[in-house]
A and B are shown apart, each in its own frame.
Chain A
Amino acid sequence: MKKAGIIFKKEIKEVIRNKNIWLPILIVTAIFSIVVPLLFILGSGSVLGDEETMNFINKIFGQVDDPMKVLIGFILKQLLIFLLVLPAMVPSLIAPSSIIMEKENNTLEPLLATPLKTSELLLGKSLTAWVPAFIISTINFILLTIVVDVATLIKLGYAPLPNAEWVIVAFLLSPILSFILTMASIIVSSRSTDIRSAQGIGSVIIFPIYLIIGLQLAGFFLLNITYLLIGCLVLLAICPLVLKLAVKIFDRENILTRWKMKS
C-alpha cells in the first residue's frame, strides 16, 4: 500500500501540471454544473407555456396539480445523469496514458525491475485516476446542488437538493463507476502499443454513459432510487472482476516484449 501511495503521489503531481487534462474537465464542469442547470431551470417557465410540453408532461406523469414542480423534478432527473459524466470522463482522460506513457518513455522496465508488486503498481496508477475523479465529481455535485437550489429558490421559493437519488449517484454510483472505468482504461493502456490507440479506445469506454443519458432524455426510462441501487449492486459485482482482469492482463513479460522500446 505504501508503494502504491508513492506512485500516486508522483503521478498526481504530473496530472495537476497537465493542462490537457484539466482544461476539458473545467469546461465540462462549467457546462454541466452551471450553464445547463441554469438554462433548464430559468427557462422552464417559458416551456410550460408551450402546449406540446404540457401534453408531454401529462402523457408521462398524468394530470398534475403543479406542472412547474413536476417539470423541475423531471429536469432534476436529467441533471442527475450529468453527475455521472465527470466520474466517467476523468478516468478516461488520465488512466489510458498511465502505462503506455511509461512504456513510451522507457521508464517502465526500470520500474518493474524494482521490488514493486504488480498489484501495487496497478493500485497506484488507478488511484491517480480514481481520486481526481471522486474529488471532481464531489465538487460537481456541490456546485450543481448550489446552482440548482439557488435557481429554484429564486424561481419557486424552495430548494430541492440534495435528495436521496443525488446522494446515491454522487457518493455511491459515481465512485464505483469511476473505479470500473479506471480499471478498464488501465487494461486498455496495458494492451496498447501506442498512446494514440490507448486514448482512442479510452474515449470509447465512456460511451455507455452517453447511451444512458441519451436513453433517459429520449424518455425510455427515468432513474429512480430502485434503478440506482440495482445499478450500484450490478457495478459492485463487476468491480472485483475488472480488478482481477486488470491484474491478469498486466503481464510484465507481455508488456515489455510486445512494446518496441524507443532507442
Chain B
Amino acid sequence: MITVENLTKKFGNITAIENISFDINESEIFGFLGPNGAGKTTTIRILSTLISPTSGKITIDDRDNRTSGEYIRSITGLLTESPGMYEKISAYDNLEYYSSFYNISDTTRKNNIEKYLKMFDLWDRKDDPAGTYSKGMKQKLALSRALIHEPKILLLDEPTAGLDPESAHMVRIFIESLKKEKTTVFLCTHNLEEASNLSDRVCIIKKKIIRIATLSELQNDDKNKRAEIIFTGDADRYVKLLEGTTGIKTVHTEKNRAMVMIEKPEISNPLIIKKLIDSGAGILYFNEVKATLEEIYLDLIKDEKTK
C-alpha cells in the first residue's frame, strides 16, 4: 500500500530524515517510533503530501506521491500531532466542513458524522462549540475528522495523547478494529506499550532507520534474550557468580530479583541453574522473559547514540 524508497528530507542545512526505505502492506498497522526530532512528523507530512521529499520515491496505492497529491489526500486520513478545531463552531459543523472537501455523498457524510461522534461519545455534545471541549474530547473529535471519509490509509501522530485511560483504550480497540476494514495504519507514537500491542511491525527511526521488524523478531534477537531469577534472599550475593557464567552479558539486580541478559538461552540457562544450585542459592522462580518493546527501543536508541 505504501512504498518508501531512499527518502531524504532536508530543511536548509538540517537533515530531518536520511535515506529511509520501508514498505507497508494493506491493512497493516505500522508503528513508527523514535525520539523527539527523529523525523516522525516530517515523514507523516511527506506521506500525506503536505511537504515534498528532497529525494527518494514514495508510492501510495500505486500512485506517485509527487504527482498524485490530490488523490493521495483523498484516500488518507491524517491526525496531526497538535490537532486544531474551529473553536467557535460546533463539533458537528467542524466535521461537516472538513468532510465536504471529500468526494462522498451527503448521506454518507451525515451517517459517518453520526457514527464517529457516537463512537467517541461526543454525540450528546455535537452542537456545542469545539472550543468548549476538553483536550481529550478535542483529540477524539480530531480522530473522527481523520476518519470521516473512511480513508484507506490512516496516518496517526500520537492518537492517544491527552486521552484519559478509558478513552485511550477505546481508541486502541478502534485502531485494532481497522484491520478488519482493510485500513492501513501508520502509527507514530511515544507510547511504546501502545505500539507494542497494536503494531504488526515497528520501525524505529532516528533520522535514519534503526530497525524494522515485528515485535517477536525483535524479541528473538540474541541481544534481547533475558532470564528473570527470583531468589529466596538478596540477589546481589549471586552477581559475581552470574557474571562469570558463559553467555551472560549483563546482570541487573533489585532486592531478591536478578535480570540476566543472555546471548544463547538454550546453552546458558542450564548452566546458570546448575551453578546457582551448586552454590546453594535458594531459587523461587526462574523464567526466560521476553524483552518489552520499551527495553528493546531504549537499547537500540542507546546503541545508536554510542555509534
Contact = CB atoms under 8 A, between A and B. Distances in A.
B45 interface: yes
A262 interface: yes
A224 B146 CA distance: 56
A112 to B, nearest CB: 6
B81 interface: yes
A257 B39 CA distance: 13
B101 A115 contact: yes
B73 A114 contact: yes
A contacts with B: majority SS = helix
B50 A256 contact: yes
A107 B85 contact: yes
Contacts of B103: 115
Interface string A109-144: 111111111000000000000000000000000000
The size bracket of the interface on B is 20 to 34
Contacts of A257: 11, 51
Contacts of A113: 48, 50, 73, 76, 78, 80
B70 interface: yes
Q: What is the predominant secondary structure among interface residues of chain B facing chain A?
A: loop
Contacts of A225: none
A6 B97 CA distance: 8
A116 B100 CA distance: 10
Interface in A92-117: 105-117
A262 B102 CA distance: 26
Contacts of B76: 113
Given A106-B80, A113-B78, A115-B70, A6 B51 contact: no
A196 interface: no
A43 to B, nearest CB: 45
Given A110-B145, A112-B50, A14 B88 contact: yes
B88 A110 contact: no
B306 interface: no
Interface in B133-153: 142, 145-146
B149 to A, nearest CB: 8
B230 to A, nearest CB: 43
B83 interface: yes
Given A6-B101, A116-B101, A110 B80 contact: yes
Interface string B76-110: 10101111111111000100011011110000000
Given A107-B84, A115-B70, A253-B50, 12 more contacts: A10-B86, A106-B82, A109-B78, A110-B80, A110-B98, A110-B145, A111-B98, A111-B101, A113-B78, A115-B73, A116-B101, A253-B51
14 contacts: A3-B101, A14-B88, A105-B84, A106-B83, A107-B84, A108-B84, A109-B80, A110-B98, A113-B78, A113-B80, A115-B74, A115-B102, A117-B70, A256-B50
Interface of A: 3, 6, 10, 14, 17, 105-117, 252-253, 256-257, 261-263
